[in-house]
Amino acid sequence: MPEIIKINVTRPYEVTIGSGLLDSCGEAISSVHAPCSAAIVSDDKVAGLYLERAMDSVKKAGFRPFPIVFPHGESSKNLSVMSGVLEEMAEGGLTRADIAIALGGGVTGDMAGFAASVYQRGIPFVQIPTTLLAAVDSSVGGKTAVDLAAGKNLAGVFAQPLSVICDTNVFETLDPEVFADGLAESIKYGVLTDADLFSRFSKLDRTELPSLVARCVRIKGCFVERDEYDLGDRRFLNLGHTMGHSIEKLSGYTFPHGHAVGIGMVMMARAGERLGLTESGTAAEIAEALSGNGLPVSAPYSPEELYRAALGDKKRMGGNISLVIPERIGSCFIKSVPVSELYEFARLGKEQ
Residue 136 has pLDDT above 90, yes or no: yes
Q: Which domains does the chain have, with CATH numbers?
A: 3-173 (3.40.50.1970), 182-203+211-349 (1.20.1090.10)
> Which residues lie below 8 Å from residue 56, measured CB to CB, with a gap of 6+?
23
Position 122 confidence tier, pLDDT thresholds 50, 70, 90 = very high
Structure confidence by residue, pLDDT tens digits, 84-99: 999 999 999 999 999 9
Residue 315: the pLDDT is 65
One-letter amino acid identity for 194?
Answer: D
Quick one: pLDDT at residue 204? 84
Q: Which of these, 60, 113, 65, 52, lies nearest to 86 by C-alpha position?
A: 113
Cα(300)–Cα(251) distance, rounded to whole angstroms?
A: 10
Tell me the C-alpha distance between 302 and 269, whole Å.
18
Nearest alpha carbon to residue 257 among 296, 287, 218: 296
**Amino acid letter for position 259:** H
Residue 127: strand pairing partners: 102, 164
154: alpha, beta or left, given left = phi > 0 and alpha = psi -120 to 50? alpha
Distance CA 243, CA 127 (A): 28
Q: What is the pLDDT of residue 314?
A: 63
Task: Quick: pLDDT tens for 261-295.
Answer: 999 999 999 999 999 999 999 999 999 999 999 99
Q: Are 230 and 188 in contact (CB under 8 A)?
A: no
Q: In the prediction, which pLDDT does 43 show?
A: 98
Number of CB atoms found within 10 A of residue 262's CB: 30
- Write down the pLDDT at residue 217: 98
- Distance between CA atoms of residues 253 and 309, nearest Å: 12
In sequence order, the 6+-apart residues with CB closer than 8 A to the CB of 250 are 299, 301, 305, 306, 309
The overall average pLDDT reported for the chain is 95
| Virtual torsion, Cα 270, 275, 276, 281, nearest 10 deg | 10
Task: Please report the pLDDT score of residue 255 as a whole number.
Answer: 93
Residues paired with 43 in a beta bridge: 70
319 pLDDT tier (thresholds 50, 70, 90): confident
Higher pLDDT, 281 or 204: 281
Sorted by sequence, the CB contacts under 8 Å of residue 205 that are 6+ apart come out as none
Which residues fall within 8 angstroms of residue 201, CB to CB, at 6 or more apart? 183, 186, 187, 190, 289, 292, 293
* Residue 55, φ and ψ in degrees, nearest 5: -60, -45
Pairwise pLDDT comparison (151 vs 239), residue with the higher score: 239
Q: Report d(CA 203, CA 186) in Å as an integer.
A: 14
